């Protein structure tokens, strides 16, 4: 149990559809970040949320959006899915403070066909 839970574990969508991925983080993880990991590559930063507001974004188009809720859960929404969106999507929680690193969930494997 890492303290970060993602759902669903696997998902198959058709090109052009929309998808919502969910992340539940333990209390104290006031920052949540989302990453996309293509096969054989390192995770790429999508965006992060702090106290329910986006405060950092990577090189991803606006059709990637997110939400963070007061109970530390969050969502990643992707509109107009493309084949290249097929990847493992990872959510990471971060506690405030010097001594803490990221805690990752197990990820959601999204396949776009």
Partner 1 sequence: KQEVTQIPAALSVPEGENLVLNCSFTDSAIYNLQWFRQDPGKGLTSLLLIQSSQREQTSGRLNASLDKSSGRSTLYIAASQPGDSATYLCAVRPGTGGFKTIFGAGTRLFVKA
Output the six-digit token pair for 7: 């759902």
CB of 107 to partner 1, least distance (A): 5
Minimum CB–partner distance for residue 87 and partner 1 (Å): 12
Token pair in block for residue 61: 């188009």
Least distance between partner 1 and beta carbon 63 (Å): 20
Q: From the list 20, 55, 77, 111, which residue makes contact with partner 1 (rule: CB under 8 A)?
A: 55
Collect all residues with Cβ–Cβ distance below 8 Å to 27 and sequence separation of at least 6.
Answer: 72
- Preceding peptide of 37 cis, ω within 30°: no
Nearer to partner 1 among residue 40 and residue 70 (C-beta): 40
Span 64-103, contacts to partner 1 by CB under 8 A: 88, 90, 92, 94, 98-103
Q: Give how far Cα 96 sits from Cα of 54, 100, 103, Å.
A: 16, 7, 12
Using CB under 8 A as the binding rule, whether residue 3 contacts partner 1 is answered as no
Q: How far is residue 54's CA from residue 85's CA, in Å, rounded to a whole number?
A: 21
The residues of the shown chain that bind partner 1, judged by CB under 8 A, are 2, 6, 31, 33, 35, 40-45, 48, 50, 55-56, 58, 88, 90, 92, 94, 98-107, 109
């Amino acid at each position: 149990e890492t303290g970060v839970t993602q759902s669903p574990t696997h998902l198959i969508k058709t090109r052009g559809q929309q998808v919502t991925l969910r992340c539940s983080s333990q209390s104290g993880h006031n920052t949540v970040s989302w990453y996309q990991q293509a096969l054989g590559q390192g995770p790429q930063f999508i965006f992060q949320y702090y106290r329910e507001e986006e405060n950092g974004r990577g090189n991803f188009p606006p059709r990637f959006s997110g939400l963070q809720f007061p109970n530390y859960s969050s969502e990643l929404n992707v509109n107009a899915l493309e084949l290249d969106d097929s990847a493992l999507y990872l959510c990471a929680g971060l506690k405030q403070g010097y001594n803490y690193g990221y805690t990752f969930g197990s990820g959601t494997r999204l396949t776009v066909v």
